[in-house]
Chain A
Amino acid sequence: MIVRILGEGQYEVAEDDRNGIHALESELNDAVESDNDDQFVAALAAVIEEVRRVGTPLAADTFASSDRVLPFSDSTLDETKALLAEPGADDD
């Protein structure tokens, strides 16, 4: 699975490491749904840290689309909600 962190780049995450990231992502989803700013900041930091930890940065000459995309590491909840309201969010 390829994960992009906006403003930072892409990481290849091995099959075995997906579950850890999915678990942290559900925390992030909860934060967005419950509109909890503090929880969002903490959850975003945690999932980004995990992606950086288990992922391998994609080489510059690898041109691939990402399966998952994370907001900018210093994003606020409001900023992310505004982004999620843009077209394309519900497309597959």
Chain B
Amino acid sequence: MGVMKRMSGILQAKTNKLLDKAEDPRESLDLSYQKLQENLQKVRRSVADVTTAKKRIELQAAQLQGQADKLQQQAKDALGQDREDLAREALARRAALGPQLAELQTQHQQVADQEQKLITTAQNLQLQVDAFRMKKETMKATYTAAEAQTKIGEAVSGISESMGDAGMSVQRAQEKIDSMQARAGAMDELLASGALTDLTNPVDDIQAQLDQVSTTNAVDADLAALKAELGAASPAQLGTAESAAADTTEPLA
């Protein structure tokens, strides 16, 4: 037997489990309607779960991206201060974040796909809930007991199949989220422990060295300014101004 026929049998088996056979076929209409509504609620809750999972991944990606951007800026600053060694280190650390960002992007795409599918499932079910609400009253009023037996049976089977499909969609989304939760948890721990944040912490080693270079440059500039000031104040000592300035400013350095 082909895959499509076997799948049909599986869905049918799930459907039969969903449906309690009511004594009166008319009652089964109300029962199905009630189940359909419960089913729709379940799908909606699942959409909310998937959206939460997606937001979590977005948050982690934003944190990682922020760190990558910061390292990029540090590399620029280092080059500006002629510290190619530091720039290289910053860029190497930035590159190390790449695979983790790519992994998060893949996960994000998967979760977004699931979200879209579930939203479509919810929309379709909503349409069916609305249509079924009207149809079941018409059926109850129109059919004789004998007709009801078959016609209502068909409609109920059809609607149950939709519920079976929706149930499988929800279960599938949940399984995907569950498998992602473990990895997301590990990433959260990594981010929280500082194993990643340490790289870009304001007092990290690259920043400390950059700050030191900045301080040294600032002192050099102050020195030069002082020398210039002394030189201007004592034009008579022009010849010795340079050594005098150096002596004067030595304790400052």
Q: A residues bordering B, Cβ < 8 Å?
A: 3-4, 6-9, 25-26, 28-29, 32, 47, 59-72, 74, 80, 83-84, 86-92
Contacts and interface: CB of A to CB of B under 8 A. Distances in A.
A7 B4 contact: no
Given A60-B128, A74-B113, A89 B168 contact: no
Interface stretch (B9-17, B58-66, B78-86, B200-208): B9-17
A69 B13 CA distance: 13
Interface string B96-137: 000000000000000001000100110010011011101100
- The secondary structure that dominates the A interface is loop
Interface string B1-29: 11111111111111000000000000000
B69 interface: no
A89 B124 contact: no
Given A7-B121, A7-B165, A32-B3, 16 more contacts: A6-B168, A6-B169, A7-B117, A7-B168, A8-B117, A8-B120, A60-B130, A61-B132, A63-B159, A64-B154, A65-B158, A67-B8, A69-B8, A80-B3, A89-B6, A89-B9
B121 A66 contact: no
B17 to A, nearest CB: 9
Contact of A66 (B6, B8, B127, B134): B8
Query: Closest 8 interchain pairs by CB?
Result: A88-B13, A63-B158, A61-B131, A60-B127, A68-B4, A69-B7, A63-B155, A89-B6
24 contacts: A7-B168, A8-B117, A25-B3, A26-B2, A29-B2, A59-B131, A63-B157, A63-B159, A65-B12, A65-B158, A68-B8, A69-B7, A72-B172, A80-B3, A84-B3, A84-B6, A86-B10, A88-B11, A89-B1, A89-B6, A89-B7, A89-B9, A91-B9, A92-B9
Residue with the highest number of chain A CB atoms closer than 10 Å, among B8, B9, B121, B168: B8
Contacts of A88: 9-14
Interface residues of B, number: 38
Interface of B: 1-14, 113, 117, 120-121, 124, 127-128, 130-132, 134-135, 154-159, 161-162, 165, 168-169, 172
B13 A68 contact: no
A70 B2 contact: no
Contacts of B12: 65, 88, 91
Contacts of B158: 62-65
A86 B167 CA distance: 15
